[in-house]
C-alpha cells in the first residue's frame, strides 16, 4: 500500500523575500508572511509593515491635490 503525498504550498514573501508556508494573499495577489500563534499577536507580520510603509509613502495621489505637469505648461 502506497502512502499518498501531500502537497505543501510555500510562497516567497513580497516584502522580506523569505520563503514561507504561513502567508497572507492580498487582492493584488501579493504574498506576505505572517507567523502567529492563535490567541497571541503575530511575531512577524510583513503585510502590516507593508501597509505602514504605504501610509508613510503613498503611491496613490491624495484627493483634492493639484499636480503640476510639463504637459499642461
| Regions in the chain scoring below 70 on pLDDT | 60-73
pLDDT digits (tens, 9 = 90+) for 1-15: 788 888 888 899 999
On the 0-12 / 13-18 / 19+ scale of CB atoms within 10 A, 72 is exposed
Looking at residue 52, its pLDDT comes to: 92
Cell numbers 513580497 label which residue?
A: 14
Which residues does residue 33 pair with via DSSP β-bridges, in sequence order? 23
Looking at residue 71, its pLDDT comes to: 59
Looking at residue 16, its pLDDT comes to: 92
pTM for the structure as a whole: 0.65
Amino acid at each position: 500500500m502506497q502512502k499518498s503525498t501531500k502537497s505543501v504550498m510555500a510562497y516567497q514573501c513580497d516584502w522580506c523575500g523569505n520563503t514561507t508556508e504561513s502567508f497572507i494573499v492580498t487582492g493584488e495577489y501579493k504574498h506576505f508572511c505572517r507567523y502567529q500563534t492563535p490567541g497571541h499577536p503575530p511575531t512577524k507580520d510583513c503585510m502590516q509593515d507593508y501597509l505602514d510603509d504605504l501610509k508613510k509613502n503613498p503611491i496613490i495621489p491624495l484627493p483634492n491635490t493639484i499636480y503640476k505637469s510639463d504637459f499642461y505648461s
